[in-house]
Amino acid sequence: MRPQRWVQLIVCGLLLLLASGVRAGVDPVYTGLFNNTAISGYDAVAYFTEGKPVRGSESFTLEYQGAIWQFSSAEHREMFRENPEAYAPQYGGYCAYAVANGDTTSAEPDLWTIVEGKLYLNYIRRINARWREDMANYINQANTNWPALLTD
């Protein structure tokens, strides 16, 4: 078979997969394409203790759910280690609004909300504003959608 024919077959196969709605699941924590760092290196605990996003440090890290998490202090690292579910952003740090809509995308560390003790991140300011208009509904939708989005 000619190489051109192989390329045509591969392209047709990919188009069929896309058309069928089959999609690969996502990793449990968003880290981007070029590193393995959660929340773009921001300190997950600081959202709760300082009320704002704070850059973490490579001096204070730990591994959780296959990703490297950075913290601004040893104290924050230990707080996270003792109870990561209390501090890690919901939906692995993917945009909560996207998850509510059955999809995933990255999120910006400075577009965040804490609702009932849980951290949620969003992708862009416009989406963050929309998220804030009906957070309870979006959270319910995202909680339903999240398990099906994960890698099997």
Distance, CA of 55 to CA of 44 (rounded, Å): 9
pLDDT of residue 66: 95
pLDDT of residue 1: 56
The per-residue pLDDT for range 118-139, each reduced to its tens digit, is 999 999 999 999 999 999 999 9
Query: Residue type at 78?
Result: E
Output DSSP code: residue 138. H
Distance, CA of 43 to CA of 50 (rounded, Å): 10
Number of Cβ within a 10 Å radius of residue 150: 13
The percent of residues above 90 in pLDDT, for the chain, comes to 80
